[in-house]
Chain A
Amino acid sequence: MSAPLTGRAAGLWVCGHCRATVRARAGRDGLCPRCGGTIHVRKPHSMATTAALLLSAALLYIPANLLPVMDMRTLFDDEQDTIMSGVLSLAQEGSWPLALLVFIASIVVPLLKLVVMGWLLLSVARRSRGNVLHRSKLFRLVEFIGRWSMLDVYAISLLVALVQMRSLAMIHVGLGALAFGAVVVLTMLAAQSFDERLLWDANLDG
């Protein structure tokens, strides 16, 4: 069986905006005849951009989990919640399914994203050929679920807005929430800047 023909080899490029297949002009970046967007054979500087975004996200992941995301003060006590302690208190209050949901969205998803994206970048850097289909599917999964981590940010913002009874109870946002929001945004950007085709390229060039 002959090697599959790639768009790059055939001089057929895909528009990153509207996904039209376009005949490349002398291998240079050009404008898409259908939507007018700039077409690249691969996303420019994909590896470097993704690595930089991912590294920033990984660093911020530490304060996002260690610092309190909110702080509730009532007449009697002052309770600081990190993301994890928020999940635990939700579980204790009797809502197991919801606690599990927040645990997945806020703890599992960001970690999974960091680990998977890091592994994918390494696999491309090493030009590894195995499990391409697997890696490709894993990337799509991680790209798809990333936005669900915002769930906690929304929950916190509603809590902060509603619990504002000065003398009785007050909720303040914590720095952890800022770091957490940044992790979500940075990992989403990292997934967007990653060019999935790089996973497949190693199988053909070698």
Chain B
Amino acid sequence: MLMRQAAGGRSDVQRGLDMASMIVCHACDLVQRVDAVMDRARVRCARCGAEMYRTNSASVDTAAALAVTALVLLLVSNLYPLVSLELNGNLRDTTLLGAAFALYGQGYAPIAALVVLTTVLIPSFQVAALLYVLLPLRRNARARAQNEVFRALTRLRPWAMTEVFMLGALVALVKLSVTGHVIPGVALFSYGALMLTLSALASITPTEQFWRWVQGSRA
């Protein structure tokens, strides 16, 4: 029924790119038609309201630039101390990896692994992998195993937790300020900047956007 309607009214709305126009909602499985596909769009399901996809007018270059920025910030965030604590004349500081090492040293390897994965390894992989697939697109080429890499990227998205870490660090700072004198380190600021960069990067590279770039580069 709906299918025939879709086929019927089609010629009126054939503007710009006609993206096969039938689309199924991933959240409630409703078949629906998307008439015009604009450059900057957020398409929601008519029945359940789920965001089916989102596109924007950002270019591959913008995404690549943000990814390079994030890479530099990641480096700074991991090399410099996050925070120092002065307690009765003793000064102690820690880096992000140092915090994980402390957990490991106390026999809690699983938590150490969880912390390193969610704050260092997965964000680093995301940024590096994004650059790996985006840079060849600028030359109308395809990275080797592009699809596999991008599927991994999509899957790992919820596990990069830079913004959660920032709040956790804030909580730790407040708790420590009762015990001794707390001095925020360089990495705390660069990690804050990283958080902003990564969320900007995530907002201009929704899954659909990436595949549009892939299809655009082949044309």
Residues of B close to A147: CB separation below 8 A: 158-159, 161, 164
The B-contacting residues of A in range 35-54, CB under 8 angstroms, are 35-37
Is A61 interfacial (CB-CB < 8 Å)? Answer: no
With a cutoff of 8 Å between Cβ atoms, the chain B residues found around residue A137 in the complex are: 49
Q: Which of B162-202 contact A (CB under 8 A)?
A: 164-165, 167-172, 174-176, 178-179
Chain A: minimal CB distance from B43 (Å): 10
Q: How far is the CB of A4 from chain B (nearest CB, A)?
A: 5
Q: How far apart are the CA atoms of A10 and B151 in the complex, in Å?
A: 26
Distance A182 CA – B99 CA, assembled complex (angstroms): 19
Distance in Å: Cβ of B184 to nearest Cβ of chain A: 12
Interface pair A10/B31, CB less than 8 Å apart? yes
Query: How many B residues are at the interface, by size bracket?
Result: 35 or more
With the chains together, A5 CA to B22 CA distance in Å? 12
Whole-angstrom CA separation of A154 from B31 in the bound complex: 42
Checking B26, B47, B154, B179 against A163 with a beta-carbon cut-off of 8 angstroms, the contacting residue is: B179
Q: Are A17 and B164 in contact, CB atoms less than 8 angstroms apart?
A: no
| A36 surroundings in chain B (CB, below 8 A) | 147-148, 151
- Are A18 and B211 in contact, CB atoms less than 8 angstroms apart? yes
How many Å lie between the Cα of A95 and that of B178 in the bound state?
11
Q: B208 within 8 Å of A by Cβ?
A: yes
Task: Bits for A121-153, please: 1 = Cβ < 8 Å to B, else 0.
Answer: 000000000001100110010000001101111
A157 interface residue (CB < 8 Å to B): yes
Judge whether B100 is part of the interface by a CB distance below 8 angstroms: yes
Give the shortest distance, in Å, between B132 (CB) and chain A (any CB): 16
* Cβ of A55 under 8 Å from chain B: no
Q: How far is the CB of A143 from chain B (nearest CB, A)?
A: 8
User: Number of A interface residues, CB 8 Å?
Assistant: 66
Verify B154–A158 contact, CB threshold 8 A: no
With A36-B148, A172-B106, A200-B29 known as contacts, the answer to whether A162 contacts B83 (CB < 8 A) is yes
Q: How far does the Cβ of B133 sit from chain A's closest Cβ, in whole Å?
A: 12
Q: A141 CB to closest chain B CB, in angstroms?
A: 12
- Apart from the given pairs A4-B30, A17-B155, A197-B28, 13 other A-B contacts in the complex at a CB distance below 8 Å: A18-B207, A21-B22, A93-B174, A105-B167, A133-B49, A147-B164, A160-B103, A161-B101, A163-B176, A164-B92, A165-B90, A173-B111, A200-B28
Q: Residues of B at under 8 Å CB distance from A?
A: 1-3, 20, 22-31, 47-50, 52-53, 82-85, 87-88, 90, 92-94, 98-103, 106, 108, 110-112, 114-115, 118-119, 147-148, 150-151, 154-155, 158-159, 161, 164-165, 167-172, 174-176, 178-179, 207-208, 211
